[in-house]
Amino acid sequence: MGPKPVDRRAPGRFRSAADVAPRTAAKELGLRLREFDLAVRIEQVRTVPGAPGGPRRVPRQELERIKAAPDFPRGLRERLRVMGASEASELLDISPSRFARLARAGCFHPVGFYVNRYRTVVWLYLADELRDFADNSPALLIGRLPAGMRTRLEAGTDERARRWRERRVKQLARHTDSHWECAAAAASVLDDATLARAVPDPAERSRLMVLRPCLHEVRSASHATREILGELCRAEGEEEIRWYRFLLDAELETARTADAVAATLAGRGPAVPGVASGPGEGGARSAPETGTRPDPGMARPVAGPPTVPVPRRRWSLLRRRRSKTTARPAG
């Protein structure tokens, strides 16, 4: 459905005079600011870093690419179309109750939500993704649901908030420009107590708190609504918390190593002892953050000669080792 999302990590992520502000870009594309924000989140519009501390900007060539599409602007608006459960069930031609069960089982990743005046969370879904689900999983739209899914639903499973958090953290991580910012994205769904256990170093924890992004912005809301939002933005259950702690540990390890190498190249002395260790394993306080966050799986450039590599992410190495151990000789 429509063009593939643009790779945000493509070369050329440096600000130039041709970059425009989000408001200007939204106006040229005929979108409201909320629609434009969604377009950025789902990678229909590529952005680049703006001024330090300022909003991201849109390259002029990106605007020209979008406007040159044969289905512009109708196609772009259709890819940004969101709907609630009632309209979604009509689109899939199923009952609202069946759609709710599929959503609670984790079949869909909500793209957003809002809290209505009755303090009920209304989840929003992309129409494009719903149509893809109907094409790829037609068996789930008719007949009885699989036994395993029914068992989880009977036990009270509701994956909607978790699926939204997963999607939102990935979106935030794609917009980071350093490993510390990426670690802060993983830390954004952990409560303060869990973060303190995961990152015992006060200096590192303070750095993450400063960089930690906001998952869901609201201009005005009652105290009760803010409590609901706070619950939706926090990881729940041991499995989900463990997963985000793993991501946090991996990014912290890479960030510490990058800082140590950058400090050495800058002539500030040898690498800090213990920087390669994980959180809580004797890692020393890191040096100031430098450089930008490169493509995953590639040698990571740091301040100094561009030929000096920094270790890959831990989970990339784990996947490589696992593939070697599971490989079997032919015959």
pLDDT digits (tens, 9 = 90+) for 300-321: 333 333 334 444 444 443 444 4
Task: Answer yes or no: are the C-beta atoms of 256 and 266 closer than 8 Å.
Answer: no
pLDDT digits (tens, 9 = 90+) for 109-168: 999 999 998 999 999 999 999 999 999 999 999 999 999 999 999 999 999 999 999 999
**Can you spell out the DSSP letters for 178-208?**
SHHHHHHHHHTTS-HHHHHHH---HHHHHHH
Q: Is the pLDDT of residue 21 over 90?
A: yes
Quote the radius of gyration of the chain (alpha carbons, Å): 22
pLDDT digits (tens, 9 = 90+) for 34-85: 999 999 999 999 999 888 778 889 999 999 999 999 999 999 999 999 999 9
Percent of the chain topping pLDDT 70: 75
Q: Which of 174-185 are b and which e, b meaning 16 or more Cβ less than 10 Å from the residue's Cβ?
A: bbbbbbbbbbbb
Residue that is written with structure tokens 């590529």 in the block: 46
pTM for the structure as a whole: 0.74
Enumerate the domain spans of the chain.
22-79, 82-158, 177-293+311-318
